[in-house]
Structure 1
Amino acid sequence: MVQQLLAVCAPMLLGAQLILTLILIKGDICPGQRGRIHKVLPTIAVLWLAVASLKIEAMMVVFAIAYFYSKVQTKKTRDQGPMWVLYLANGLALSYVAILVGEQTSLAASLNVVVQIPLLGALFAHLLLTIARTRLQAFHRILPVAGVVSAMLMALVILLKAMSIDEQTLMSAIQPLLVGFALMILGIVVWCWHMLASREINKAQLGFGLAVMLLALTSNQGLFVL
Structure 2
Amino acid sequence: MYWSDWPFLLSSALTQLTIGAFIVLAFVILSGKLCFGQSDRVHKTMPVFWLLLFVALTLREASLMVDQVYSVSTFGTEVLMVTVFFVLANVYWFAEKNLFGSDRFRTLLLVVALVSGLVYLTHGLIVRTDQWLIASHFIATTLCGGTLFAHTLLVKAEHKVEEVNRYLPITGAVIAVICLLTGLPQVGELAARVDSHSELGPFIAQVMSLGLLLAAVGVWLMPLLTRSKPVLGIMTFALTLMLCSSYLAAVGYTLV
* Shorter-chain TM-score tier: 0.7 to 0.9
Q: Share of identical aligned residues, percent? A: 19
For 1:43, the equivalent position in structure 2 comes to 48
What is the TM-score of this pair, normalised by structure 2? 0.76
8 Å Cα contact 1:46/1:62 also seen in 2: no
8 Å Cα contact 2:132/2:183 also seen in 1: no
For 1:102, the equivalent position in structure 2 comes to 126
1:88 maps to which of 94, 106, 112: 112
SS in 2 for 1:138: helix
Whole-Å separation in 1 of the counterparts to 2:160 and 2:125: 35
Would you say 1:3 and 2:8 are equivalent positions? yes
8 Å Cα contact 2:13/2:246 also seen in 1: yes
Whole-Å separation in 2 of the counterparts to 1:125 and 1:74: 22
For 2:96, the equivalent position in structure 1 comes to 72
Whole-Å separation in 2 of the counterparts to 1:109 and 1:180: 12
1:130 maps to which of 134, 155, 160: 155
Q: How does 1:125-204 map to 2 (within 5 A)?
A: 125-165=150-190, 167-169=192-194, 172=200, 173-204=202-233
Which stretch of structure 1 is more off in the superposition, 66-75 or 207-216? 66-75
Pairwise CA RMSD of aligned residues? 2.5
Question: After superposition, what is the alpha-carbon deviation per residue over 1:111-167, rounded to whole angstroms, capped at 9, x for unaligned?
Answer: 331343321111001001111111011111111111211111121232132245572
For 2:67, the equivalent position in structure 1 comes to none
1:34 maps to which of 14, 25, 39: 39
Whole-Å separation in 2 of the counterparts to 1:91 and 1:84: 10
Structure 2: segments with no counterpart, 5+ residues: 1-5, 61-78
- 1:83 Cα offset (Å): 1.9
Whole-Å separation in 1 of the counterparts to 2:104 and 2:239: 29
Question: After superposition, what is the alpha-carbon deviation per residue over 1:49-83, rounded to whole angstroms, capped at 9, x for unaligned?
Answer: 233343354222222122112212379xx957612
8 Å Cα contact 1:147/1:188 also seen in 2: yes
- Equivalent pairs counted in the alignment come to 224
For 1:208, the equivalent position in structure 2 comes to 237
Structure 1: segments with no counterpart, 5+ residues: none
8 Å Cα contact 2:21/2:149 also seen in 1: yes
8 Å Cα contact 2:92/2:109 also seen in 1: yes
SS in 1 for 2:218: helix
- Which consecutive segments of 4 or more residues in structure 1 shift more than 6 A? none
8 Å Cα contact 1:68/1:85 also seen in 2: yes
Distance 1:57 1:147, change over 3 A: closer
Question: After superposition, what is the alpha-carbon deviation per residue over 1:188-226, rounded to whole angstroms, capped at 9, x for unaligned?
Answer: 121111123332211111011000111012212233342
